[in-house]
Every structure is written in C-alpha cells, then in structure tokens.
Amino acid sequence: MRFLRGDGPVLRIGHRGAPALAPENTLHSFERAIELGVDCIELDVLSLADGTLVVAHSDDLAEVTHGATAGLVEERTLAELRTLAPDLPTLDEALDFIAARAVGVQVDHLLLGQEAEVAAALARHGLAERSLVVSFHGESLRQLHGLAPELALGLTYPFDRRGVARRRLLTPAVIAALLVMRRSLPYTIPARLARAGALVATLHSFVVSPAVIDRCHRLGVAVFAWTVNDRALAERLDRAGIDGIITDDPTIFEGTLPT
C-alpha cells in the first residue's frame, strides 16, 4: 500500500467505512465506501470480556446500540453483544471482508495490549502488505514493530480523548488549543515520529499546515488528515500536498479531487 503520494493522487480513506451514509464500522458501511471509490477502509478495534476483538470505536454501549442499551462494550461477551448490536463485526469478519476486495485497511487499535492479536489477525488474512496500523500510543507502535516489523505504522495526533473529531462545531477553547498545536507541530513532530517508528502521521485536520506537511515529507513520512467532511477543505488539503484524506462521507471526493 502506498502512503507518500509523490506525483499521484491523494489516498481516499473511508473513516469507519462511510458513516455519513451507513452505520459506522459495519460491513454495510465498508461496502458503501468501496462503492464510492475509496482506496482504504479505516476501522477501530475493541476487545470484549471474552477476548474477542470487535470493530467498534466507542466503549459506550449506548452509542454502539444507538441508545438501546447502556453500559460498556468491553464488559460484554461476543454472544451478548450479538443480541444488542448484531451488525457489529468481529475484527476477523471485517478483515475477511476487506481481504476479498481491492482496498487497503487502516487499523486504529485503541488500547494497549492488543498488539500481538492485531498483528496476527492481519497476517492471518494476508493483509500485512496493504495495511497501516495507527495509534495515539507511541509505546504500542514500538511493541508492534518488535512483533511484526513488516507492518507499516502511523502515529495519530493529537490524542482525541474528548471526541473532538466527532464534533461539527469546536469550542473556542478547543480551537485555541489546536492552533497552538498547529504552530508548534512542525518543530515537535520529528521526535514524536522517530520515537514511534512511524511512516505516517495521521493528524487532526485543524493541526495540518503546509509547514508540517513539508517537514514530514522531508523525513520520508506521509501525512493523513482526519476527519475531513467538507469538499472545500479536502481541496485545500489536496493543494497543500496531503497524502491521505480520511472522511465519513466519501461523496466529498466526487468531482473535487483528481484520480
């Protein structure tokens, strides 16, 4: 899987599939994104009480079940979760689906301790060469590299503990914090990437600047922006030389970016 675009087009990445058009992190959402021409599917991984890895971003059962049940996803077994969220795939089911299609996969593994299982699952489905594993945790990426040095790794920044990526409107305080990060990131990101051994920087779109793209490219590191749901922003990032755009709505690419 390519990461640096060079003279080619931007990499189009379906964030949890196409959640603007179908329930996120489901096979239906992945299929919809692929129909719209994405190059890669991004998905999230959580571990259940019985050790099964499932594709889900939130540990909030109310979010995963669309308000049907409260509690934590990770406290349930797969059998219990199937009765509450029947469309939620296991990681193996999702990777099996993607392996049969001509797309890559970006695995966002949210918890420390999943490294060996994630690496084994990608190898089991023959996806190691068309995958990217990203994390906020540099230590987790270092562990992954030790376990599976063939895997491409990406460092996500900043740590989105408050779910900023899901908000349509950012508060003034959040905007101010992101602007500070945006100004400092070209100077701080080389050390962050080196410690993590990352080939890709996956950055909140608000902290992406031409300066940080240039700095990363000089290091041979690709830059992906999340989560971009606006056509005009996608075009600006494309002109700035971004390597990948992660979106909830792959229709933003129609008629806007060159193929």
- Can you say how many angstroms the Cα of residue 41 is from the centroid of all Cα atoms in its chain? 8
Domain boundaries, the chain: 11-163+187-251
pLDDT the model gives residue 105: 98
Residues contacting residue 179 through CB under 8 Å, at least 6 positions apart: 206
User: Which residue spans within 48-186 are E strands per DSSP?
Assistant: 53-55, 104-109, 131-135, 152-157
Question: Is residue 18 within 8 Å of residue 29, measured between CB atoms?
Answer: yes
Question: Is residue 195 within 8 Å of residue 138, measured between CB atoms?
Answer: yes
* Residue (of 221, 227, 152) closest to 193 by Cα position: 221
Average pLDDT on 66-82 reads 91
Average pLDDT on 171-200 reads 91
pLDDT the model gives residue 160: 65
- Is the pLDDT confidence value at 170 over 80? no
pTM equals 0.93
How deeply is 1 buried, as exposed, middle or buried, from its count of CB atoms within 10 A (0-12, 13-18, 19+)?
middle
Residues 49-68 have pLDDT tens digits of 999 999 998 899 998 887 88
Residues 189-212 have pLDDT tens digits of 999 999 999 999 999 999 999 999
CATH superfamily, domain 11-163+187-251, is Phosphatidylinositol (PI) phosphodiesterase (3.20.20.190)
Task: Kindly report the average pLDDT of the chain as a whole number.
Answer: 92
How deeply is 70 buried, as exposed, middle or buried, from its count of CB atoms within 10 A (0-12, 13-18, 19+)?
exposed
Q: Which residue has the tokens 């995963």?
A: 64
pLDDT the model gives residue 58: 87
